[in-house]
Amino acid sequence: MALRILVVDDHALFRDGMVSLLKAAGLQVIGEANNGQEAVSEAQRLKPDVILMDIDMPVMNGIEATRQITGTLPGIKVVMLTISQEDQKLVEALRAGAAGYLLKSLNSDEFIKLLQGVERGEPPMSGSVTARLINYVAQQSSFNDPVDENLTDREVELLGFLGQGLPNKSIAARLGVSENTVKYHIKNILQKLNYNNRAEAAAYAVRHNLTPRS
């Protein structure tokens, strides 16, 4: 079943182009909104699978809208879609509950590929953005404490691969397990570390020097 998508952006021309691109790729656009306040309302009404959310909008910005939506409708994945490459905004969006962060400068093929990965549990975020995020968050503090003792050896090993920014498929191949098993472990890791997303877990791996040497 195709992803059901809500497109949120205050520029009508951009929304029209995005809707056309998504439909051409076989994805289902079920609604549009031109600011964060409308996004919250439409999310409650339509309950889409994914929301493509601009950050800088009038009335209510995308980060606040994301915070409200993920707080009441956690099953919806919000993907930030923006021209901004500011690390601070990226971190704020993810802390608000965003599942990913895609730049408007991406070419259409890469954009669709990353978005379709949502159905497989992959974070909709390009490798360059993932690397920037991990480095930014990891540099905010340095941990001298030991790795959380509640983590199993397998979870610690998996954390290392998250720290490399690897997708679930690659992690599964390296560990010799299924992608569903990887998803299960990641869910447990996030619960144990009290994190909202895998990017925070990846930064944890970097801070604790868990990433493989090769």
CA atoms of 70 and 60, how far apart (whole Å): 15
Domain co-membership, 25 together with 79: yes
List the CATH number of the domain containing 171: 1.10.10.10
pLDDT category of residue 131 using cuts at 50, 70 and 90: low
Q: Using the 8-state DSSP alphabet, how is residue 11 labeled? A: -
| 151, 201: one domain | yes
Residue in 173, 166, 177 with CA at minimum distance from that of residue 201 = 166
CB-CB contact of 109 with 75 (8 Å): no
Task: Please indicate, yes or no, whether residues 156 and 97 belong to a single structural domain of this protein.
Answer: no
Contact indicator for 121, 168 with CB cutoff of 8 Å: yes
- Whether residue 133 lies inside any domain: the answer is no
In the structure encoding, which two tokens stand for residue 109, read together?
């093929």
- Tally of structural domains, the chain: 2
For the cut 80, the answer to whether the pLDDT of residue 129 exceeds it is: no
Structure tokens at 32: 């549009």
Which of 92, 125, 158 terminates a domain? The answer is 125
Q: Is 87 helix (H, G, I), strand (E, B) or coil?
A: helix
Name the residue among 65, 146, 79 with its Cα closest to residue 118.
79
pLDDT value at position 35? Answer: 95
Residue with tokens 């939506």: 69
- CATH code where residue 52 lies: 3.40.50.2300
Task: Tell me the per-residue pLDDT of 28-67, one tens digit each, with 9 for 90 and over.
Answer: 999 999 999 999 999 999 999 999 999 989 999 999 999 9
Place of tokens 């992803």: 3
H or E stretch including 69? helix 62-72
Q: What would the pLDDT profile of 194-213 be if each residue is shown by its tens digit?
A: 887 777 788 788 777 787 65
Range(s) of the domain holding residue 98: 4-125
- Given 74, 93, 125, the domain boundary residue is 125
Q: Is the pLDDT of residue 137 over 70?
A: no
What's the pLDDT at 140? 59
Final residue before a domain boundary, out of 64, 93, 125: 125
Q: How confident is the model at residue 24 (pLDDT cuts 50, 70, 90)?
A: very high
- Where is 186: in which H helix or E strand? helix 179-193
Residues 14 and 112 in one domain: yes
On whether both 109 and 190 belong to a single domain, the answer is no
Give the alpha-carbon dihedral of 70, 154, 156, 120, to 10 degrees: -30
* 160 lies in some domain: yes
Kindly state whether residues 112 and 59 are assigned to the same domain: yes
Is pLDDT of 1 > 60?
Answer: no
Q: Please give the pLDDT value at position 136.
A: 65
Same-domain pairing of 104 and 24: yes
Say whether both 51 and 157 belong to one domain.
no
Which residue, 15, 16, 25, 194, is CA-closest to 117? 25
End-to-end C-alpha distance for the chain, whole angstroms: 38
Residues 100, 199, 75, 156: is their CA dihedral positive or negative? positive
- Domain for residue 40, yes or no? yes
Averaged confidence pLDDT in the chain: 84
pLDDT of res. 51: 95
Same domain flag for 87 and 191: no
Q: Report which listed range, 28-42, 103-117, 134-148, 159-173, is most confident.
A: 28-42
| Residue 92 covered by a domain | yes
Q: In this predicted structure, what is the pLDDT of residue 170?
A: 87
pLDDT at 20 over 90: yes
Is the pTM above the cut of 0.85? no
Q: Are residues 153 and 117 in the same domain?
A: no
